[in-house]
Amino acid sequence: QVQLVQSGSELKQPGASVKLSCKASGYTFTTYGMIWVRQAPGQGLEWMGWINTNTGNPTYAQDFTGRFVFSLDTSVSTAYLQISSLKAEDTAVYYCARPRGGGGGREYHHFGMDVWGQGTTVTVSS
């Protein structure tokens, strides 16, 4: 079945880096982009951006430029999110999601995100 399986929880100190993974199965990885969404404790959802799994081209939301990097390893159908210089406010659950229409841009948004990973909890604390 179609699914996204994310890596396990992470506990990091401020200033450290973390790399999260999202492994896709049940479909052709490069047919759909990958979207990343953040949810801080008790808060709502934030769209972080997306990566084109065909070209590797990332698009970042305005609040997620600089310390956040999307990457891929298409040989293992996996998308990655790396966060550097971690801050306490990065503490959140990070989800990967598949855009139902294929791409993550404006022309595809109306199709929605139909498959989600289970989420990875990142805790930043000294």
Partner 1 sequence: QSVLTQPPSTSGAPGQRVTISCSGSSSNIGRNAVNWYQQLPGTAPKLLIFNNNQRPSGVPDRFSGSKSGTSASLAISGLQSEDETDYYCAAWDDSLNGVLFGGGTKLTVL
CA–CA dist 21, 110 (Å, integer): 26
CA–CA dist 81, 18 (Å, integer): 8
CA–CA dist 73, 63 (Å, integer): 25
Pick the binder of partner 1 from 10, 30, 46, 123 (CB under 8 A): 46
Contact region for partner 1 (CB under 8 A) — 10-18, 23-31, 54-62, 71-79?
A: 54-62
Contact region for partner 1 (CB under 8 A) — 20-28, 69-77, 83-91, 117-125?
A: 117-125
Residue 44 touching partner 1 (CB under 8 A): yes
Closest CA to 95 of 73, 72, 118, 63: 118
The smaller minimum CB distance to partner 1, of residues 27 and 47, is found at: 47
Q: How far is the CB of 25 from partner 1 (least distance, A)?
A: 16
